[in-house]
Amino acid sequence: MMSVLRPLDKLPSLNTATILLVGTEDALLQQLADSMLKEDCASELKVHLAKSLPLPSSVNRPRIDLIVFVVNLHSKYSLQNTEESLRHVDASFFLGKVCFLATGAGRESHCSIHRHTVVKLAHTYQSPLLYCDLEAGVQWCDHGSLQTRAPGLK
């Protein structure tokens, strides 16, 4: 059975928010999750990591409040993985519960994906796009269409 992630199929838990990070790079997701959990949050924050969607149906998990798709601009594979995973997300998620995170833009020479591709992807799904770099000491060049940066990260 093709399982599609739906935003309202479970009851919300009190004072808890769950974020699902989807991406191919395990180390990156782990680092991101650790940084997020260190931040002060009004409610209890839970972060789930997944390589791709669909998620296994056997696991008991809380309701997902936000899905963050992490695309590594250095890897076409990570973009293809994201595009595949997007098919398993219910349309109502895209009313503000999905976000795209692009990493690796700072190192232009290593990019295999054009920035415009992810901008267009985010635009197609009407969801925000954030740029973020988890490598230390990366030189940022001027990208005209750079939007916001994720707080707490470089």
Partner 1 sequence: MDSYDVPESTPSASSRPEDYFVGATPLQKRLESIRKHTSFIPTPPRRKVPQCSQLQEDVDPQKVAFLLHKQWTLYSLTPLYKFSYSNLKEYSRLLNAFIVAEKQKGLAVEVGEDFNIKVIFSTLLGMKGTQRDPEAFLVQILSKSQLPSENREGKVLWTGWFCCIFGDSLLETVSEDFTCLPLFLANGAESNTAIIGTWFQKTFDCYFSPLTINAFNLSWMAAMWTACKVDHYVATTEFLWSVPCSPQSLDISYAIHPEDAKALWDSIHKTPGEVTQEEVDLFMDCLYSHFHRHFKIHLSATRLVRVSTSVASAHTDGKIKILCHKYLIGVLAYLTELAVFQIE
Only one of the segments 8-16, 63-71, 118-126, 131-139 lies at the binding site for partner 1 (rule: CB under 8 A); that segment is 118-126
The answer to whether the CB of 105 falls within 8 A of the CB of 76 is no
Sheet harboring 44-50: ordered strands across? 44-50, 16-22, 66-72, 98-103, 129-132
Coil, helix or strand for 118? helix
How many Cβ atoms from other residues are within 10 Å of residue 13's Cβ? 14
Rounded to the nearest angstrom, the gap between the alpha carbon of residue 126 and the centroid of all alpha carbons in its chain is: 14
Residue 38 corresponds to which tokens in the numbers above? 């260190």
Instruction: By CB under 8 A, name the one of 24, 82, 85, 127 that touches partner 1.
Output: 24
41 lines the binding site for partner 1 (CB under 8 A): no
Number of residues this chain uses to bind partner 1 (CB under 8 A): 24
The CB-of-114 to partner 1 minimum distance in angstroms stands at 5
Per CB under 8 A, contacts with partner 1 among 77-106 are: 77-78, 80
Only one of the segments 1-9, 62-70, 90-98, 110-118 lies at the binding site for partner 1 (rule: CB under 8 A); that segment is 110-118
Binding site for partner 1 (CB under 8 A): 24, 74-78, 80, 108-117, 119-121, 123-124, 144-145
